[in-house]
Structures are given as C-alpha cells and as structure tokens.
Amino acid sequence: MSKCFVERFELAGAAEGPLAGLSFAAKDLFDVAGRVTGAGNPDWAASHPPAEANAAAIQRLLDAGARLVGKTITDEISLGLLGINAFDGTPLNPRAPDRVPGGSSSGSASAVAQGLCDAALGTDTGGSVRVPSSFCGLFGMRPTHGRVPTAGMLPQAPGSDTAGWFAREGEVFARVGAVLIDEAPAAPPASLTVAADAFAFAGPGVAEALAPALARLEAMTAPGREDLLAPPGFATWAKAQRTLQLAEAWATFGPWVEAQVPRFSYLVARTLMAGAATPAADLPPARLVRDEARGRLAHLTRGGGCIALPATPDPAPPRDLPLAEMDRARDRINAICALGGLTGHPVLVLPAGEVEGAPVGLAVIGARGADASLLALARDWETA
C-alpha cells in the first residue's frame, strides 16, 4: 500500500546551494540521464531508449543542491486525474488510504505525503499537480505556462503542459519553487477575488471546510470580493479545454499509438480515441472560448490580484470505482481545473480543510507571470 515509486535510486546534487540537504522525487515523465522514461505504460518504456540528459527541471534542482531519490508512478502517458494506473498500481493516499491519490502526478504526491522525500516534481496539463495536491493535503503549484522549462519532460499537450512541484511544508515548497521559477518569493497578491461560482459548484461541505483557509488568505492578501470566475460556466470552459487538450494529446501520442498499437487501460484508450476523433471544426470555437477565458482571468487578476477557489470540487473519490463513477468524478474535477491549461495562469494549491476526513485544498490563481507572489503565500501559509 505504500507504493509510489517506479524506481528508487540516489543522484546527488551540487555540494552547496539553496536546496542542499533536501531530497526530491520526479514523476516518471521527466528524463534522468541513462534511464528510460517510462511514462506509466509498459509499452512506452519498451519502445523508447534511455534518456541522454536530465530534464531541465531536474537539473535545476540538482544544481541547487537537492538530491534525487527516484522516479514516481504516473497515470499512463499523463492521461488521468485520479491517480489510477492499472499496470504500476494506484499509489497510496496516506491521508485517506481508501481513496485515490489524484493524478496524473500520483506517485510524486504520494511520496511527499508519505514523507519519503521533501519535494517532488510533477506535470500539470489539465490538473495533474493541483488534483493530487488537493487530494493528499499538499502544497502544489502549476506555474505560469512556459515559466519553468519543460525540456526533457514528456509532452502531452504542449499548449497547456507545465512542470510543477509538491511539498509538505510551505517554506520548503517556496524554496524549491524559487529555484524552479528562478525568482525569489515576492510580495503577496494585492487583491483577492473569491470565485463564487466555484464555491457554489463544489460538493457538500467543501465551502465550509475551506472557510478558515480562505479567511487566512484574506488576511495575507486583502478582503475578498465575490465575483463569477467563469460567467459562461465552468462546463463551457472545460469542454473547450478538453477539445483542445485531447486534440493536442493525439497529435503528440497518435504516431506512437499507430506504430506500436500499445496496451492501455480502457479508460486511457478511450481518452486517446476522443482526441483522435476530434472534428477539425470543433477547434476554432474552442479557441474563441479560450480567448474569452484568458481575458476573464487577466481582468480578475489585473494589478497583481489573485482568485481563490476550491482546488477540487470534492475530496478524493474511493479507489476501485466503476467506469461511470470515474467519468463523473473526472468531469467534475475538469470543470474547475480546466482553466489552468486553458489560460496558462499560475495556480497554487494550499493545504486547507477536510471533508469526511479527506483533504481538500484551496487554489489561488495568480496573474500571468506573478508566480513569485504565489510563492510568498506558500512560504508564510503555516505561520501567517
């Protein structure tokens, strides 16, 4: 039940640096020189050679003195939000052992939450850092799109892909983040919008569970002003993102799928096929919705403001769900996570409350490029 690594090893970092003494793990989508990047699928691993160099994000952490302790389980080729992998197993969610850990960066979140390392790298295209952060009670962040270099990281949908990270402690989280974004924590956001529609969309008890954390966030930023985050509806945004992301994912993986005819969980195969079947005529309207979403978030975060919302609409669902319930859980998560990949804004997840004994995080969306202001929130979160 403590499974989270696909491979454990030790790769020392620089002798000195801001991260000296810290250990980290990396999702098995990041290249480590001399090792095969397995991507959570046995046929991917079998059809690719060992990496020639370390991924840029890994190298940054090593150069800053952190030590790499292994590669972690991921949903197959990063397609999944629940953290279920039928080949490698579903990692433990130590905060709620009968529930999924969230994904696709499932093993990274699990390893950090279990205390097996101080921090971990994940990827976030549609929610793959934010969801396991929320479900496992961790700090996690999806940086501004393009902010942290993705060289040596397996792409899924390059227009939305980001390299993110997890930690249990805010100070460690901010220190690792400062290395990854190459900027020290800055002043916290100057204003706060509370996403009334997102809190209303969340499941029973979530808004109440997050209320103390929201009050703390207000104390660190400014009194919250309630507003609609997504006037056309989260379903509209999520549909646009799903259209664009899965079409890109098929462009990424289709040639490999068509050449190798690999094995997948039925769930993953179905997701890929949805991408393969995207009508070209669906893309232009989805791009218009994306333009409007980007405009809306730029408006709400103007002047360095931030937006608070539940990181996930519900706590983690149980392990071993039937397909229809997996679909339902994923659709609800997508509804309020799709905006990350759609707009490219940075999103921080703060450990916040519990519902039925399972964690739910508070998400804070920052202005594009204002990643350093979000780091400040994490750094001071436990002491504010």
Pairing mode of beta strands 347-355, 23-27? unpaired
Choosing from 78, 128, 160, 265, which is the catalytic residue? 128
Active site residue 104: yes
Both structure tokens of 306: 């931030």
Among 86, 211, 222, 228, binds a copy of itself (CB under 8 A): 86
DSSP secondary structure letter of residue 32: -
CB of 259 to a copy of itself, least distance (A): 5
* Closest separation in Å from C-beta 87 to a copy of itself: 7
Q: Shortest approach of a copy of itself to residue 40 CB, angstroms? A: 12
- Could you tell me which residues are beta bridge partners of residue 364? 308, 348
Going by C-alpha positions, the residue among 4, 126, 155, 144 that lies closest to residue 74 is 4
Cα 185 from Cα 363, distance rounded (Å):
18
Burial label, 281 (beta-carbon count in 10 A; 0-12, 13-18, 19+)? exposed
Q: 267, 289, 352, 362: which one contacts a copy of itself (CB under 8 A)? A: 267
Contact between 49 and 36 (Cβ < 8 Å): yes
Could you give the CA distance from residue 170 to residue 350 in angstroms, rounded to a whole number? Answer: 9
Least distance (Å) from a copy of itself to the CB of residue 327?
Answer: 10
- Give yes or no for a cis peptide into 104 (omega within 30° of 0): yes
Per-residue contact flags (x/-) with a copy of itself for residues 199 to 238, judged by CB under 8 A? ----------------------------------------
Query: Of residues 213, 257, 367, 377, which one binds a copy of itself by CB under 8 A?
Result: 257
Kindly name the residue from 23, 27, 134, 373 that is annotated as catalytic. Answer: 27
With a CB cutoff of 8 Å and minimum separation 6, the contacts of 88 are 3, 6, 40, 73
Q: Does 251 bind a copy of itself (CB under 8 A)?
A: no
What's the CA angle centered on 61, arms 170 and 29, to 5 degrees? 95
Using an 8 Å Cβ cutoff, are 99 and 358 in contact? yes
78 sits near a copy of itself (criterion: CB under 8 A):
no
Question: How many chain residues interact with a copy of itself (CB under 8 A)?
Answer: 22
Which of 225, 270, 302, 328 contacts a copy of itself by CB under 8 A? 270
Residue closest to 117 by CA, chosen among 73, 166, 150, 76: 166
Give the angle subtended at the CA of 263 by the CAs of 260 and 267, to the nearest 5°: 125
Region from 29-37, 102-110, 258-266, 328-336 binding a copy of itself, contact rule CB under 8 A? 258-266
Tell me if 246 contacts a copy of itself by CB under 8 A: no
Q: Is-catalytic flag, 373?
A: no
User: 33: how many CB neighbours lie within 10 A of its CB?
Assistant: 14
Binding residue (CB under 8 A) for a copy of itself from 10, 258, 280, 303: 258
133 carries an active-site annotation: no
Angle at which helices 283-300 and 234-260 pack, to 10 degrees? 130
Which of 166, 264, 312, 371 is close enough to bind a copy of itself by CB under 8 A?
A: 264
Contact string 23-52 vs a copy of itself (x = CB under 8 A):
--------------------x---------
Whole-number Å distance between alpha carbons of 152 and 163: 11
Q: How far is the CB of 43 from a copy of itself (least distance, A)?
A: 7
| Whole-angstrom distance, CA of residue 60 vs CA of residue 73 | 21
CB closer to a copy of itself, 264 vs 381: 264
**What tokens does 356 get?**
């039925």
What does the per-residue mask of binding to a copy of itself show for 312-331, with x meaning CB under 8 A?
----------xxx-x-----
The CA distance from 111 to 143, in Å, is 21
Position 261 contacts a copy of itself (CB under 8 A): yes
The binder of a copy of itself chosen from 14, 63, 87, 191 (CB under 8 A): 87
Which range in 52-60, 80-88, 104-112, 200-208 contacts a copy of itself by CB under 8 A? 80-88
**7 DSSP β-pair partners:** 71
Query: Which residue from 1, 15, 200, 259 is in contact with a copy of itself, where contact means CB under 8 A?
Result: 259
Catalytic residues: 27, 104, 128
Contacts to a copy of itself by CB under 8 A: 43, 84, 86-87, 257-259, 261-267, 269-270, 272-273, 322-324, 326
